Amino acid sequence: MCAGLLTLAMSAVTARAQQVVEPCKPETLTVFKATPAAPTTLTTPTTLDARVRAEVATFKGRVTLHAKNLDTGAVYDLDGGAAVRTASTIKVPIMVEAFARVAEGRAKWTDELILTEAKKVSGAGVLKDLSAGLRVSLRDAVTLMIILSDNTATNMVLDVLTADAINARMDALGLKETRSLRKVNGGGVSKAGKEEANNRFGLGKSTPREMVSLLEKLERGEVVSPAVSKEMIELLKRQQSHDGIFRSEWKLTTATKPGALDALRSDVGIAYTPRGRIALAITCDDMPEIDWSIDNPAQLLMSRLSKMLIDGLTQTTKE
């Protein structure tokens, strides 16, 4: 799909069938009617695109995004196939490999990881502030990696799993652009991480479309098993940073994972709305100024965009 291309497809959903959206042709907009819901102010595809582009135009930096209503199949895409730096959103694929490894009997949640001074890294998390010699179970390390984005926990988990194994798992899921490249602050470099073309991505790379695809697979119970997929979604629901997507939608249940670098903010997740589950991935990069406040311009933009996309992808068309 070309950059900035909008595809919006909506169709009735039954309890026994999932909607499949046909890819659009370049410069083609396809609209299907969904089952009528309660009266509301309607947003047409053209209006949604105009609103999104107007917001993005005010942002100093680059914005890529992909969003999908998992119940109707409605999709919005803005350069969603572009490769982006993941920052900490790569921790979702790392989580997937950990759960898969345990389900396959090749690791146990009770396996102990030992914290050392050498393993402590800066940034998010609490393990860097705890005493060396602490024994942390694999389960607890994965939990800290997701709910607090703990960088030290992430590296300890990567020591067990390896970045190459995570990438092989993504390949098996059909996600060829999603790659774990190295540990936080370096080391543990994967084969993909050694490729010169990937040097610019840092910790990991993906595309907004592939991140939404991974979220959709988890939500539909297609990763490892329905039970294991549900466990992972439930862990994402416990994630504690909510400054980006769905920020103003505090009444909704959400399952998310954000990421941040000096010039970047990214966020991926699902919002459970009365009119559909909205899976969304947004990356804002190339910001000219460093701002680590919760009101970073990218955080505020992602909040506004996520609200627009919820509204636009859950509304019905007029007769």
pLDDT, tens digit (0-9, with 9 covering 90-100), for 250-279: 899 999 999 999 999 999 999 999 999 999
The pLDDT assigned to 11 comes to 39
Pair (211, 77) in one structural domain = yes
Look up residue 22 and give its DSSP letter.
P
| 244: in domain | no
Which band of pLDDT confidence, cut at 50, 70 and 90, is reported for residue 32?
very low
In this structure, the answer to whether residues 200 and 217 fall within a common structural domain is: no
Q: Is there a domain that residue 261 lies in?
A: no
* Cα separations in angstroms, 8 against 238, 309, 318: 30, 11, 14
- Contact between 65 and 208 under an 8 Å Cβ cutoff? The reply is yes
- Burial (Cβ within 10 Å: 0-12, 13-18, ≥19) of residue 54: exposed
Tokens for 157, please give them.
């988990």
pLDDT in tens, 141-151: 999 999 999 99
Residue 250 pLDDT: 87
Name the domain count of the chain: 2
Do 279 and 224 fall into the same domain?
A: yes
Domain of residue 280, residue span:
1-82+207-236+269-319
Task: Report residue 40's pLDDT band, with 50, 70 and 90 as the boundaries.
Answer: very low
- Interval 15-42 mean pLDDT: 35
pLDDT tens, residue by residue, 204-223: 999 999 999 999 999 999 99
Residues 37 and 150 in one domain: no
Residue 171 sits in a domain whose CATH number is 3.40.710.10
In a domain, 165, yes or no: yes
**193 and 211 in one domain?**
no
The predicted model scores a pTM of 0.85
The tokens of 77 are what?
Answer: 């895409």
260 lies in a domain?
A: no
Same domain, 211 and 146: no
* pLDDT given at position 301: 97
Q: Is the pLDDT of residue 17 over 70?
A: no
Residue 151 shares a structural domain with residue 221: no
Phi/psi at 87 (nearest 5 deg)? 50, -135
> Do 225 and 307 belong to one domain?
yes
If asked whether residues 41 and 143 sit together in one domain, one would say no
Residue 76 lies in a domain: yes
